[in-house]
């Protein structure tokens, strides 16, 4: 039997973070969580590139383009979509989710989904470093695990 696992040893990995400016107070907390987690795994700050886009809807195109350069071992997408009163939420969530997934499958590079999709701002705050963890940290660790896993496959 052969078992293959990724690791949380990030030294030498090159990581891109794409962050949306919508709800930037909360996105910044995700970004801080991601950068801190990457540093703790040994990723050098020189190997982290941060790119900003207007909103979550724009994340997939930037993620796809960055992944296609072949310069990065993983691309992390960060955003916050809050439902509010319109169906706009559903369209933005749907396009963002499927686009980021497609970018990963098309490029063969792990493209991580660090987009909070919540009913209200309280839920987003809870998931950005208060009582329900920090989604940015979670996806950064997943990025290192996937990048180190794919190198073995």
- Contacting positions for ligand INI (CB under 6 A): 20, 22-23, 54-58, 79-82, 84, 88, 92
If the CB atoms of residues 61 and 132 are measured against ligand INI, the closer one turns out to be 61
Q: Are 81 and 92 in contact (CB under 8 A)?
A: yes
The b-or-e profile of 96-108 (16+ CB within 10 A means b, else e) is: bbebbeebbeebe
**Residue 93 CB, nearest approach to ligand INI (Å):** 9
**Residue 30 CB, nearest approach to ligand INI (Å):** 12
Q: Which of 61, 70, 88, 151 is catalytic?
A: 88
Question: Is 52 annotated in the active site?
Answer: no
* Orientation of helix 135-150 relative to helix 24-41, angle to 10°: 40
**Residue 65 CB, nearest approach to ligand INI (Å):** 16
| DSSP at 3 | -
Question: Which residues are designated catalytic?
Answer: 88
């Amino acid at each position: 039997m052969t078992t293959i696992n990724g690791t949380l040893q990030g030294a030498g990995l090159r990581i891109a973070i794409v962050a949306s400016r919508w709800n930037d107070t909360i996105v910044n907390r995700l970004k801080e969580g991601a950068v801190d987690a990457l540093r703790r795994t040994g990723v050098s700050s020189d190997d982290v590139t941060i790119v900003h886009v207007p909103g979550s809807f724009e994340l997939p195109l930037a993620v796809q383009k960055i992944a296609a350069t072949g310069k990065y071992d993983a691309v992390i997408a960060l955003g916050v979509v809050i439902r509010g009163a319109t169906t706009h939420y559903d369209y933005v969530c749907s396009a963002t989710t499927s686009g980021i997934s497609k970018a990963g499958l098309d490029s063969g590079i792990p493209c991580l989904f660090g987009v909070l999709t919540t009913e209200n701002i309280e839920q987003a705050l809870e998931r950005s470093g208060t009582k329900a963890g920090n989604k940015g940290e979670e996806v950064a660790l997943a990025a290192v695990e996937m990048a180190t896993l794919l190198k073995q496959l």
